[in-house]
Amino acid sequence: METPLATSTQPARSVLPLAALAAALGDPTRWAILAELSAGEPRMVKELAKKLKRSPSLISKHLKMLQRAQMVATGRGRLWQIPTAFLAAPDKGQVDFGHCLLRLTGP
């Protein structure tokens, strides 16, 4: 008699292409942007620029790179955020992009 396979109760997570993920994570400014967005709160470019002490044009450039890698998305009111499917633990600043789990806050 065959035993049925166990099924997972957790929903399947999206997995981003590894090459795009690696390229997008190659800059400290993009890491800082992801850290700011990892709490799950949408932010405007001006808010991110002020918080990170960078120009809005630089933040926009990096957000576009993260958007091409599908790591962030923009919605109403030009608010940027990490898609909720990737927010593993927003209260802890953890983001799960499939190939890696990023812990974007201190221990």
Kindly report the number of other CB atoms within 10 A of residue 86's CB atom: 23
Give 58: exposed, middle or buried? Use CB within 10 Å, 0-12, 13-18, 19+: middle
User: Any idea which fold 18-103 has?
Assistant: Arc Repressor Mutant, subunit A (1.10.10)
pLDDT digits (tens, 9 = 90+) for 18-62: 777 788 888 999 999 999 999 999 999 999 999 999 999 999 999
15 pLDDT higher than 90: no
Contact 86, 71 (CB under 8 A): yes
What is the residue type of 61? K
Q: Provide, rounded to the nearest whole percent, the portion of the chain with pLDDT above 70.
A: 83
4 pLDDT higher than 60: no
All structural domains of the chain with their residue ranges: 18-103
